[in-house]
Amino acid sequence: MHRLNRPIFAEEHEAFREQVRRFCDKEIAPFHSQWEEAHQVPAAVWRKAGEAGLLCCWLPEEEGGPGGDLRFDIVVAEELARIGATGPGFNLHSCVVAPYIAHYGSPSLKAEVLPRMVSGDCVGAIAMTEPGAGSDLAGIRTRATWADEHWVINGQKTFITNGVNADVVVVAAKTDLDKGAQGVSLFAVPTSSPGFSRGRNLQKIGQHAQDTAELYFDQVRVPATHLLGELNQGFRYMMRELPLERLCISFNCQARAEAVFGWTQTYVKERKAFGKRIADFQNTRFKLAAVWADLQAGRALCDSLIERQLYQSLDSVSASAGKLWHSEMLGRVTDECLQLFGGYGYMHEYPVARAYTDARIERIYAGTSEIMKEVIARSICDESRR
Ligand SMILES: Cc1cc2nc3c(=O)[nH]c(=O)nc-3n(C[C@H](O)[C@H](O)[C@H](O)COP(=O)(O)OP(=O)(O)OC[C@H]3O[C@@H](n4cnc5c(N)ncnc54)[C@H](O)[C@@H]3O)c2cc1C
């Protein structure tokens, strides 16, 4: 595939890419199908990734990080996408969970957790969703009350990525029942805390190597230093951090769509029907041309959003539009490409089949496509929210 020049990356990022690629080919690709059967990535892989410098690359040295920037974490995500590895939840750990702790954590919490997130000894998860509240997060029922100099947390979360492997969970809980969204606070909860337990590792239609769990909190006590930021400001912090989470979906979807296109391009040149290559049918050629056009547009949008994030100017509406577009685009691309594989495209052993089922969730988590449209539409149609 003809690649667009990507000026957002410097030489140091491309050198790092070579290193990450070697790691992925040696430590991830040969084992990923085993992890799919186990529905989990082993803890040792997290530590190997930490040793290789693949976790929390953006975290400043004074916080215990390697002092890189977000682009190094994007390289890690893109290289995992290249081999179709959706199991390791490195991106969520590094770019979604770690920022909450780094931006809002107390000095003692940061010192306790962040260096261990960098080394892979402490895996991070974020728990907002509950059985009764997903899109409508103001409706969460998990509660935190102050008693005996501790926050005491009670409640249940579901669909939590990295939930089985997690050592620390950023938990959204109600701290003022009368204030709706303004009564939500965030806490960093070690999973070693008495009263914390995990439910099932949930069986999904895709992303089989990714652990996704139910979490239970029964009188879980955490010290005041584990409150993130200020009391009742949790919703404000989530709104501040969500553009980056949505950007993560964009760059992951874009990289995975490019990988699927590459596999398809190879396949249609090898496979024959009616004495011709599949690549010789006009339908194939036009489908791939249309996918390629999508990929070019997606790459330009994706890199411009990354650039805006690097300059701290990525707003919620633009990130939501990106999340909407890239997740829908990945859905289209995996569907069109799978079709070109014929029956083999439906076989689990073919990466395109896994990519197809792996892709479906991208339109749902981190805010559904419908919620993304709501966010965008409000800025278009409601004067006060522009
Ligand atoms: C594999 C997986 C991993 C996940 N990882 C995490 C995680 O790590 N942490 C976490 O906290 N959560 C996680 N989630 C949860 C995910 O973010 C939620 O599932 C998602 O936000 C949707 O919430 P819901 O499932 O409750 O659906 P609902 O909110 O019940 O929505 C159902 C349907 O109604 C639509 N809808 C809802 N409100 C509106 C509206 N205002 N206008 C129009 N349509 C609307 C939705 O778009 C959807 O189509 C994960 C989910 C999955 C499946």
Low-confidence ranges of the chain (pLDDT < 50): none
pLDDT at 386: 54
Q: Is 371 in the pocket of ligand 1 (CB under 6 A)?
A: yes
Burial of 356 (0-12, 13-18, 19+ CB in 10 A): buried
Q: Quote the ligand 1 centre to 95 CA distance (angstroms).
A: 20
Q: Is 156 in the pocket of ligand 1 (CB under 6 A)?
A: no
Atom index in ligand 1 nearest the CA of residue 369 equals: 47
245 is a catalytic site residue: yes
Supply the angle between the helices 351-359 and 234-270 in degrees, to the nearest 10: 150
pLDDT at 5: 78
Atom index in ligand 1 nearest the CA of residue 162 equals: 8
Q: Are 154 and 229 in contact (CB under 8 A)?
A: no
Q: Is 364 in the pocket of ligand 1 (CB under 6 A)?
A: yes
Summarize pLDDT for 254-270 with one digit per residue, the tens.
Answer: 999 999 999 999 999 99
Taking the C-alpha atoms of residue 340 and residue 336, their distance in angstroms, rounded to an integer, is 7
Q: Is 161 in the pocket of ligand 1 (CB under 6 A)?
A: yes
Burial of 336 (0-12, 13-18, 19+ CB in 10 A): middle
Taking the C-alpha atoms of residue 302 and residue 121, their distance in angstroms, rounded to an integer, is 31
Percentage of the chain surpassing pLDDT 90? 97
Summarize pLDDT for 43-54 with one digit per residue, the tens.
Answer: 999 999 999 999
Summarize pLDDT for 183-230 with one digit per residue, the tens.
Answer: 999 999 999 999 999 999 999 999 999 999 999 999 999 999 999 999
Atom index in ligand 1 nearest the CA of residue 207 equals: 1
Distances (CA, A) of 145 to 47, 187, 288, 365: 35, 12, 56, 28
Distance of CA 313 to the CA centre of its chain: 20
pLDDT at 165: 97
Q: Quote the ligand 1 centre to 133 CA distance (angstroms).
A: 8
pTM of the model: 0.97
Q: Is 287 in the pocket of ligand 1 (CB under 6 A)?
A: no
Catalytic residue, chosen from 78, 245, 258, 362, is 245
SS3 call for 378: helix
Dig out the tokens for 28 from the structure. Answer: 């991830």
